[in-house]
Structure 1
Amino acid sequence: MAVEDDVKGKVDEASGKAKEVAGVVSDDEKLEAEGKAQGVAGKARSAFGDAKDKAEEVAKNAKDKTEDAVDNLKSKFDKEK
């Protein structure tokens, strides 16, 4: 579910930023680096959710257009009878 990816991504971004800041404040380079990595992973997950949303939209539009084309062909065929 794309919404789930987006929410989890935002949570990871926020958690990562908190870790990063905590690492800076405590002069803990490892914690700071972990926070940065978690933030980047969160952004990636959010982007993945956005991409899934777009793919679902494109697939639905293609399905709708295909159904319309089939309906048009059926209508033309029925008129020729």
Structure 2
Amino acid sequence: MLAGLQDCISQSELTEEEIEAIAEHEHLPEMAALEYGNYLLHRPDGPPAIKKIIFEDIEAAKRRGDRDHALALKLVLRRFVQEHPDAQ
């Protein structure tokens, strides 16, 4: 990960794993995913949208048979919901 990106992540309200999940789902570079995720977090419907993104990534990983990635994403989803109760 680039140093500048790491600095931005440390100032955001998202984890690196959450940003990677958004990047995977939206087919975006990580910096764009960070900006999009930050935008979503500050919208009333944003946290549920991010939750849905991560959930859909889990389902896609399951369909591909990538159980390890699905499990890792489940942990990302769990942490996200714990940190952002408005994602319910």
TM-score relative to the length of structure 2: 0.39
Larger Rg: 1
Larger helix fraction of residues:
1
Q: Identify the structure with bigger relative contact order (alpha carbons < 8 Å, sequence gap 6+).
A: 1
TM-score relative to the length of structure 1: 0.41
